Structures are given as structure tokens and as C-alpha cells.
Amino acid sequence: MVQYIVKFIRMMNSDRDPRQISLGFALGMVLGLTPITSLHNLLVLLAILFFRVNIGAAILSWMVFSGVAFAVDPLFHRFGLFLLTDVKALHGFWTTLYNAPLVPYTRFNNTIVLGSLIFSLFAFYPVYLGGRVVVVKYRETFLEHLKRWKIVQGFTASSLYR
Amino acid sequence: MKIIRWSGLIAFVVIVGLITLFNVLFLDNIIKVVVEDRASIALGARLDIGDLRFSLLGLHVVIRDLQVASPEQPTHNVVEVGALALDLAALPLLKKKFVVQRMKVVDLAWDTPRQTSGVLPPRLQKRHRKALDAGIKARKGLEDCVLPDFSIFEELKEGVPEDLLADTTLPSAVFLSAHRQEVSEARASWDQRLAHLPTKKEIETALVALKDLKDKRPKEAAELPGYLEKVKAAQQELVNIRKGLIEARRDFQKEIKTLRNSLKGARKLKGEDFKAVWAQLDIRVPTAGDLICVLLGKDLAIKVNRTIAWYRRLNRFITPRGETEEAKTRPAPRLKGTDVRFPITGGYPKFLLEVAEFSALPAAETGSERFAFAHLSGELQGLTPQPALYGKPTVFRFKGDLVGERPGELALFGELDHRKTPTDDRIDLTIKDFNLERSGESNTGQPSLLLTSAFLDVDGSLQITDEKLDGQARVSVREANVEVGSEAGLLADLFKNLGPFEVNLSIGGTLDQPVIGLTSSATRTLSAPLQRIFRTKQKELRRTLKRAINARINRKLSVANDEVDAYERRILDELSSRLALANPVSQEHGKEKKPSKN
């Protein structure tokens, strides 16, 4: 895991495509915000491993958003409950899903699973775009500045980083 | 840039493959632990599975040595199953529906001893919610009926203990206590009055003053009128003293007469005393209905209640509740959320047990309080929490032969139709020639009256429409032997020639508040001799009590009379002595006598 984080830092400091980092970060966010045992997370995991996204960014993002999820799960519950029970227009749709093959195993009818998944899906593209902007800005403005720091120089010279 | 990372795909396949392999290798154990934990939490006692085999391809499960511990008696199993095999339907599983197409349960046994404790482990205890219906009892209290305490009849044969009368608030005792208080107050009042009346010293002073006056008669005629005036005044003072003392004596005699007369009232309270003691003894004479209740009705009512409790559990399972509404009101566990249920629109229900066949392990035991079966088999069809979707009622039927020299039979049939409201359920039970045998140290803890052996025929039915109960059970009892404990010894002869009789239970009320009534043909047979026994015993007891109360009142009256006598003597003596001093005649006599003495 440390290796992946180091890779992530190395990638941040390189001129590699910033989309790989931001996509990894966005996918990690979905993993972190939604309950890990949900079936859709198998697809997210598949996407992280199968596509060339930065695994370090995904791990970092997963860790950060797991902490966030712990704090906001009551909000996800209320949001999920609202979607599942209060929006009458969706009732038929949920009922169809509930009676469809395999879908019940996704636990979509769980308030936190649905609330957090819908929120993550809406947040996915903004997080992806925002991540990309942050990486570009970081490289343009902060990287040169950081490189002058002794601690950074020491870290980049270490065998761990190389 | 290449988009696909093939090494990642391989890693993913390896991870998923390892997880699948782990599940396949350890699936049996995983299912076993999950089933054990979930079922134990639901039951409130341990459920142990000896061995579980799950065939993924055939969706076939075989469970061996299943034991369900009793929550009330953890050293015993409520039920033990030798083997249980079930086939799951594959297609409904894709929709997360568990459809058991066929289940076979063999070697069922009840109330078997356990080798390990059946208490729920602490980690599961927190998650166990106690059954809601555990405390529901039928009204009319048949389950709690006990024989009244007869021991008083034997205890009081020897005589009435003083403690019994002392502990009772007797009207005569209250009266005598009040009388005593009255005497005491009167005594205090007379002591005060005596203090205000002229004392002996004052009388003597007055007498001396008169005498001095008489001795100092003036010689001058002119002083005579004044002198005579003084003598007259002194004489008048003595007259007044005398008058006061006489009046006081009259008052006292009147008062003491009233006190004496009022004492007689204590004798009139004998009847009241008897009533008070009788009430204190709280002698409840049992009715023939009470005897039948203790003999059989109580146990039958307990069994009916247990049946209703089991039905309530089943009813909760097969009557779906408003899950959506429940999800709104129930607080969501942190990081877990709440599962909202939606209606199943077609196909199979969420859970369905299509057919289950049962057969019991033959019991060797004969004659017991419990059923011992030489053979028992049964079938359960269509158990589901969504009967409307399944479209058929839940039906169960069991048939068995009881062990014994005269083998009895049992047949149980039930049809629970919850497809539409009002729900319409029916349970029928028929038992023939059940040989009941039990010992004196039975579970009741009160062996004063016990039906130790009998042959029973039971014919019962229970109709449940929504929550409303309507049922009856007719129990025919033959060759009954009753053990009468020492506390109820006077009933010993009552059951010597007890012929066959019937007990009828009526079941009404609702599931939440059942009402069980009891009637019996034996009440007619038992009533007259029972009344005779108690009439005689009560007569004897009344006589003994009355004698004791009479003796007590006479004793207390004698003490009270002595107290009044002493008081009367003291006051009258004092008054008389003062009067004698103030009486001029006696004074004259005294005057005359004194010189003669000298």
C-alpha cells in the first residue's frame, strides 16, 4: 500500500496524464463513501484494476472518503430513505428492480447503500474534473516551489522514492 | 496511452477466484455458523448443528444432529432433529428468494437432555430480542388456580391459640380497651374533683372554728346577735361542705353505675368477635370447579396458552407487516442503514417452504406427562410470509400412535389462510387413549391434589378469525387416580370412587388477551359431598372458635370488673371518710364517745 502511495506521489511529480490520478481518486471516492461489501464495489474494483488509473490515488481517496462516510452516513441514510420511500414516482421503479434477477443482491434497497451510491455517482464527475485541475495546478505552481524544500529533496533522494 | 491494464485484470480475476475458492471450501462452515447464530438470536437459546453439507450444484442442504435448546431450561433441548434435508429452487435464488421445494425432517425428538448448556453466548445475548408474547396469559386465571389452605381445620382441632385472637382486632377487645380508658379518665377526673372538694384538714379547721365560736359565747346581750350571726355562718359553711360531699357521692355512684352497666355490653359483642376471627382466618371453601381446575384445568389452560403463543409467532411470520412504514420509524443502525422492502409483484414469495415432511424418533418410554410416540409423521405445506402471492393456505397435518399397552392416537390438523383479510385459521386436535402418568413431585410445586394417572381422550378445535379466538376442547377422563396431599387430607375420600368425567374448555377473546373458561361434568358429582365435608368441618370450627371467644371475654370482663371495683372502693372510701368527718351527728357521737374511751 505504501508503495502505491509513493507511486502516486511520484506520478504527481511527473508529467504523466493527470486524468489517471483524478480517475483513481474519483473511483476511490465511490469505494470509500459506499459500504465496502456492496456488489457495485466489485465493479469499481474491477475498473481500478482493469483500467490504467492510479491505484495509489484510489487507495488514498478510499481512506479519506471512508472517514468522511463515517461522519455523513446519517445524511446518506436520510437521502436514501427519501428516495426509497418518499418519492412516489420512483416506487414503481424500485419495485421493478426489487423483483428483477440479481439486482436485489446489490442491496439497492438499503438506505445507506442507495444514498451514498447516488451521491457518489453525482459527485464522480466533479471530483474527477476537480482532481484533474488540482493535479495540473499543483504541477504548474507548487511543484517547483516544493522541490526547493529540504525535506522534499531528502524524500525524493531516498531509496523509497526511487 | 494504453487504456487497459491486463495485469490488473489478472489480479482481479485472481482476487475474485480466491474469494470464490475460499467460499466453496468453507461454505458449509460459513452457512453453519450463520444459521446457528441467526437462529439462536431469534430463538433466545442455542441452536447447534452437528454437520451441514451444502451442494452448490444441486442446491441441496443436509443438516445432521440439529439441537434447539429450551430458553427456559437450558439443560434440555426443546427439539432435536436427527437429519434435515432440503432442496432449494435455483431460479428464485437469482431474485434473492428462498424457495424450499421439499424438506424432509427425520428422527424428531422432544425434550431431550443436552451435554452442553443451551444458554445463549454473551456475544449473541445482546442481539436477542425477547419474544413479545412470553408474558401473555389468558384471563380468568385458570393457569394460577390453587387449592385454598385447609390446614386451619386440622390446626384448630386442638384449640384456638391465644395468638390468633390476639392478632385479630376483636370488637370486644376494642370495647374493653375503650372502657378501660373511660375508667382511667373517670379516675383522673375524680381525683381532680376530690382535690377541689374540702379536704379532711379543711373540714377539721371549720369544725374547730365552730367549736371555738361556741366556746366564746358573749356575756353581753348586745353582742349576742352578732355572735349568733357568726355561729350561723360557721354552721352554714359546714352544711355546705356536707352538701357538696353528698352531692359528689351521689354523682360518683351514678357514674360508677353507668360504667358497670356499659361493661355488660362486652358480652353482646361475642357475635361480632366471631365474625372478626372468621374473617381473619379467611377460610375459602373450594368449589368443585376449583378442584377440577387444580386437577386438570390448570394444565390444560397452560397448554392452550402455549399453543396460542406458538400460533402468535407463526401468525407474525405469515402476516407481512408494513416494511416501508417500519423503515421510516425505526432508527437506522450507524453505517448499516435500513432495508426497505418492496412488494413482490409476481413469481415466488420472498420465502417459501413448499412441502416439509416430518417423522419422529420412536420413543421407548411409556406413560408420562408428555407424549411418547411409537410413530409420528406429518406434513407442512405452503409456509410463507406472503400467502397472498403464493395463493394457497398454509396447511399442516400430523398423525401419530402413542406408546403404551393401550396405544393411543394423535391427529393434528391446521389450515392457516392468510391470503386475504380477515384471515381465517383453524386448528383441530384429536387424541385418543392418552395414558397420563405423573408423580407427586410434579412441576406444580403444590402436590396437594394431583391427577396421577388417567386415560384421556381430547377433541379440540380452535378457529381464529383475524385476532379473534373461538374454540373449545372436550377432554374425557377415564380411570382417574388422584393423589391427595396431607394439606388437603380432608378431601381424601372425595376422589376414591371418581368415575369417568368430562372437562370442557372454551377459548375466546383475542390473540392478545385470550379468555379460557372451564366446565366439567365432575362438578355435579363432587359438589354435594364436598359441601357436606366443609359444612361439617366449618360447624366444628365455629363451635371451637365460639368457645374460645366466650372464655376470653369472660376472663377480660372479670379483670375489668375488678378494676372498676378497686376504683369505686377508693373514691367512695375517700368521700365517706370526709362525709363522716363533716357529719355533726357523728361529730357529736365522737365527742360523746371520746371521753368514754378515755
Among candidates B300, B311, B298, B305, which has minimal Cα distance to B427? B311
The separation between the first and the last C-alpha atoms of chain B, rounded to the nearest angstrom, is 163
Q: Quick one: pLDDT at residue B321?
A: 59
Task: Compute the distance between CA of residue B173 and CA of residue B162 in angstroms, rounded to an integer.
Answer: 13
**B330-344 tens-digit pLDDT:** 777 777 889 998 888
Among candidates A85, A46, A25, which has minimal Cα distance to B337? A85
- CB contact under 8 Å between A102 and B94, yes or no, is yes
Q: Quick one: pLDDT at residue A9?
A: 78
Q: Chain A residue closest to B348 (CA)?
A: A99
Q: Quick one: pLDDT at residue B411?
A: 96
Q: Quick one: pLDDT at residue B593?
A: 43
B460, pLDDT greater than 50: yes
Chain A nearest CA to B43, separation (Å): 26
User: How many percent of chain A have pLDDT more than 90?
Assistant: 59
**B59-106 tens-digit pLDDT:** 999 999 999 998 888 899 989 999 999 999 999 999 889 999 999 999
**B217-241 tens-digit pLDDT:** 888 888 888 888 888 888 888 888 8
Closest residue to B337, CB basis, from A49, A104, A112: A112
B384 φ, ψ (degrees, to nearest 5)? -155, 150
- CB contact under 8 Å between B12 and A45, yes or no, is yes
Which chain A residues are within 8 Å of B340, Cβ to Cβ? 81, 84-85, 94, 109-111
Task: Compute the distance between CA of residue B334 and CA of residue A71 in angstroms, rounded to an integer.
Answer: 10
pLDDT band at B326 (very low <50, low <70, confident <90, very high): low
For B433, the grid coordinates are: 387413549
Q: Quick one: pLDDT at residue B596?
A: 39
pLDDT band at B264 (very low <50, low <70, confident <90, very high): confident
A85, pLDDT greater than 50: yes
Q: Is the peptide bond before B422 cis (omega within 30 degrees of 0)?
A: yes
β-strand partners of B56: none
Q: What is the DSSP letter of B129?
A: P
B441, pLDDT greater than 70: no
For B593, the grid coordinates are: 364517745
Q: What number of other Cβ atoms are within 10 A of residue B347's Cβ?
A: 12
Could you tell me the CA-to-CA distances from A47 to A52, A65, B5 in Å, in that order?
Answer: 9, 18, 10
Burial label for A92, CB within 10 Å (0-12, 13-18, 19+), is exposed
Whether the full predicted model's pTM is greater than 0.95, yes or no, is no
β-strand partners of B435: B455
Q: Quick one: pLDDT at residue B14?
A: 92
Q: Quick one: pLDDT at residue B445?
A: 45
Average the pLDDT over B114-139 and give the result: 68
Q: Quick one: pLDDT at residue B590?
A: 46
Q: Is B148:B284 a contact under the CB 8 Å cutoff?
A: yes
In B345-500 the beta strands, taken as DSSP E runs, fall at: 351-360, 373-383, 394-402, 409-417, 424-437, 449-465, 468-484
Amino acid identity, position A100: A
| Residue of B20, B325, B338 to mutate when probing chain A, most A C-beta within 10 A | B338
B22, pLDDT greater than 50: yes
**B496-516 tens-digit pLDDT:** 878 899 999 999 999 888 999
pLDDT band at B368 (very low <50, low <70, confident <90, very high): low
The C-alpha angle with vertex B47 and arms to B43 and B51, in degrees rounded to 5, equals: 150
Higher pLDDT, B439 or B565: B565
Task: Compute the distance between CA of residue B69 and CA of residue B111 in angstroms, rounded to an integer.
Answer: 9
Chain A nearest CA to B125, separation (Å): 25
Q: Quick one: pLDDT at residue A93?
A: 95
Q: Quick one: pLDDT at residue B598?
A: 34
Which chain B residues are within 8 Å of A74, Cβ to Cβ? 332, 334
Average the pLDDT over B424-436 and give the result: 92
Closest residue to A101, CB basis, from B5, B9, B94: B94
**A117-145 tens-digit pLDDT:** 999 999 999 999 999 999 888 888 887 77
Which residues, in sequence order, are CB contacts of B383 under 8 Å at separation 6+? B317, B318, B352, B353, B356, B394
User: How many percent of chain A have pLDDT more than 70?
Assistant: 98
B444, pLDDT greater than 80: no
Which residues, in sequence order, are CB contacts of B279 under 8 Å at separation 6+? none
Q: Quick one: pLDDT at residue B12?
A: 87
- For chain A, the farthest-separated pair of C-alpha atoms sits apart, in whole angstroms, at 62
Among candidates B338, B363, B353, B440, which has minimal Cα distance to B392? B353
Q: In which residue are the cell numbers 375488678 written?
A: B562
B529, pLDDT greater than 50: yes
Task: Compute the distance between CA of residue B384 and CA of residue B320 in angstroms, rounded to an integer.
Answer: 10
**HSE of B87 in the Cβ direction (CA atoms, 13 Å)?**
10
Could you tell me the CA-to-CA distances from B458 to B143, B430, B431, B463 in Å, in that order?
Answer: 19, 5, 5, 17
| Residue of A38, A82, A85 to mutate when probing chain B, most B C-beta within 10 A | A85
Task: Compute the distance between CA of residue B31 and CA of residue B19 in angstroms, rounded to an integer.
Answer: 15
Q: What mean pLDDT, rounded, does chain B reach?
A: 84
Q: Quick one: pLDDT at residue B129?
A: 58
Q: Quick one: pLDDT at residue B222?
A: 85
Chain B nearest CA to A151, separation (Å): 33
